[in-house]
Each structure stands twice: as structure tokens, then as C-alpha cells.
Amino acid sequence: MKLGILNADQVKPEFAKKFGEYPDMFAEIFRAVDSDVTTVTYEVVSGQYPADIDEVDGYIITGSKLSVYDDVPWVHELKSFVKQLHERKKKLIGICFGHQMVAEALGGKVEQADVGWCVGVYSNQLNKDAESYGLEGGAMLLRSNHKDQVTELPEGAIVLAGNDSCPIASIGLADHILTFQGHPEFSEGYARALLNMRREIFGEELFHTAIDSLGIEPDNHQIASCILDFVSR
């Protein structure tokens, strides 16, 4: 399987030395599940896209420091590409910003959450439709770090999982789109580094709650396996 990673951000240099860039994180978690998986990166911030949509089996949109409603040329260009992928029914996975990008591009709505930042490990309750997308077990645990969230679904999309702080934490659309607000690619070390970097932004109470939650083992490998199974269908 060959996956195209639509990279929408760069890791801070001091973190990249230790944890890699976002495409590296995805490649690592997928190869831990299936050593035959290969990835190719498209730097969408620089306007890099595939010459042929079908040169990979499916696409993954990464997280980003920007918001999907930012009036920035590359954000608009990525929205257009998402629409193309949807029209072609190409397999598409969205993670965090990518989850929000898919929703916004296809007619949903994304905005800053009333609850503020959602950081740390969250348990997301799976809905009845989740099993048809390969999500099992009643709940999924993922590391999160976001302030924006999807508040309205695009036409035809269904909620697969959510929690009180983020009711739309995973979306499925037809048989070619699957998205997650959480980060299956984040290691504990990288999640901790991000929390420490933004400690003053979060405030002490939220920071310590999030740090304490990192002791909970998330379902990274299970979600990575689910994504690969979904793309291979």
C-alpha cells in the first residue's frame, strides 16, 4: 500500500530533531502495523500536489497550526483538492486539522470550541455506525491538542465517535472518507513537548490535567490498523 501524506505544517526544528516531521510520525506508526506500507509526502503549504490523483492508494491530511477558516492561499487550494478527491471517491483520511479540513471543504462548519482547548488523552465513545468503518471496542483513546472543532457535518457524513468536550471527534462519509480529531501519530514524548511549549496558553489547571492523562495508553496502533484496513477496501 502506498499512502500520500498531505503535509500541512512543519514541526519546530528543536522537536523535529528528536521526533521527526509529521510525515515521519505517520510513516512510523503505519509501518509498526504493516512493514510493507510506503508513504510519499506532498508539502501542500508550498503548493506541492500529485501529478496524478491515482499515484497513491489514499491520502492523509495532517494537523496544522493554522485553522481551516484562515484566508490563506494554500488552505483554499487544499480545500479544492479535497473536493476533487471526494468527487473521485478517492480514499481520504483526515487527522486534527485534516479532520476539520474535510468537513469544511465539503460543506460542514468548523469554529473555535466554547470549551476552549482540548489537550491530553481523551476517551471517545463510538457510535453505532463506527463498526462499519472498522472501529470497534465501544471507545477509542487518542491524544488531542486542538481548540477548533467541527460543529456541523457536511452533507452525507456521519459521526462515528465523540465526547462531551468534542462531540464530533470522528467522521465517516460514504466508503471513502474517514477522519479523526485526535492524533494516532503522536508519541507520548511529542505530545508532552507540545504541552510544555503551550503551558502558559493552557493555564496551570488544564496543563496538569493534560500532563497527567499522558499516562493513559492511547489506541494509536489500533487506529493506524483501522486506517490501513479502510484504505485497502
Residues noted as catalytic: 96, 183, 185
Name the burial class of residue 158, with classes exposed (0-12), middle (13-18) and buried (19+) by CB atoms within 10 angstroms of its CB: middle
C-alpha cell at 81: 483538492
How far the first Cα of the chain sits from its last, in Å, is 11
Element (H, E) at 178: strand 177-180
Beta-carbon contacts of residue 125 (< 8 Å; ≥ 6 apart):
138, 139, 161, 162, 163
Q: Find cell 456541523 and name the residue.
A: 152
C-alpha cell at 11: 514541526
Name the burial class of residue 220, with classes exposed (0-12), middle (13-18) and buried (19+) by CB atoms within 10 angstroms of its CB: buried
